[in-house]
Structures are given as C-alpha cells and as structure tokens.
Structure 1
Amino acid sequence: MLAPRPIFSRLLQQTARRYHAGHDFKPPSMDELPVPQGSWQAQYDANQRRYNSILLFGIAFGVGSVILAKASGLLYLNYAPPKSLD
C-alpha cells in the first residue's frame, strides 16, 4: 500500500512552483479589446424589442395558465367566502 503523505507532498511541490507565466507572456493591453461597431441605438432598440416580446409572452402564458387552472377547478382564488363550511 502506498503512503498517501509522500504522494500528496510531492504533488504540492510540483504545483507550487508553477506560478510564473513563462518567458513569452505579454500582459494584456487595451489594444486587444474589441472595437464597437454599428449604432448602439439600433442594437439597444433591437434588444428592447426582444426583451419586451419575451415579457409579453411570459405575462400571457401566466394569465392563460391561471385562467385554465381556474376553469378546470384546480385553482380556487378565495376572492369570496365559501358557500358552506363543508
């Protein structure tokens, strides 16, 4: 049976010395960032149309689900007192 302590300490020795980046490492600069292209207003408007359509679909799906559950008798909204205590 192998002793776990020497294996573990050997792993720590090998990985603890790998903190440097190497000789060919160049720190990142602002020149490497992507350059924006096109109109920000056109992209913003397209995003808002998409987000609003998702919002409207979610509202319609939620309202439709409540109406369907109420019509099928699975949901009681408790908006009035019950007719009897039974």
Structure 2
Amino acid sequence: MILLGLVDRCDAHMNELPVPCGPWDIWYSDKQSYYNKVLAIGTFWFLFSLGMMIYTDSLFLNFGPPAQPAPPSDMIEECEDLDS
C-alpha cells in the first residue's frame, strides 16, 4: 500500500544555492574584454558598410535637394485632362 501523504522529498532552500568563491575579477575582465572587442568590431563593420553604401550610391538618404534641377517648363508637355 502506498501512502500518498508521506513522500520523502527535499525542498529547495538557500543552502543549496551556489556561492561564489575565489577571485572572479579575472574571469569578469576577460569576458568584458571579449564583449568590448565584439562591440568595437561590429560598430566598425556597420559604419564601414554604411559608408560603402553611401559611397557607391546603393543607398540614397535624401540629405538635400537633388543635384540636377528640374527641366525648364517649356520642355514639359502639358497633360490634357480627359473629361468623360
């Protein structure tokens, strides 16, 4: 016969949590150094890519008015509205 109310189990408590011991500054500095290098390389690559897109005119950002003015009005044919 199995008694459902009497189950041997160990509830979790604070004594089972891992406690940091030893010098952690070295590990933390190494991780932060790696993350900073990845951030710097990613930032450089993004700026390089953006610069190349602007340089090769692959990306037009509409910074100002167009370089060439519109054609004179005597060169443009007027559209006639067709009334139905």
Common topology (TM > 0.5)? yes
Shorter chain as denominator, the TM-score bin is 0.5 to 0.7
- What residue is the counterpart of 2:42 in the other structure? 58
How do 1:2-81 and structure 2 match up within 5 A?
23-81=7-65
Greater radius of gyration (CA):
2
Q: Which runs of 5+ in 2 are unaligned?
A: 71-84
Computed over aligned residues only, the root mean square deviation of the Cα atoms, in angstroms, reads 2.5
Taking only the aligned residue pairs, the percentage that are identical comes to 32
Tell me the secondary structure at the aligned position of residue 39 of structure 1.
coil
Figure out how many residues of one structure are paired with residues of the other and give that number: 67
Q: Which has the higher helix share?
A: 1
Q: Which runs of 5+ in 1 are unaligned?
A: 1-19
How far off is 1:35 after superposition?
A: 2.5
TM-score by length of 1: 0.60
Distance 1:68 1:78 in 2: 16
Tell me the secondary structure at the aligned position of residue 58 of structure 2.
coil
Tell me the secondary structure at the aligned position of residue 73 of structure 1.
coil
Say which is worse superposed, 58-67 or 36-45, in terms of deviation. 36-45
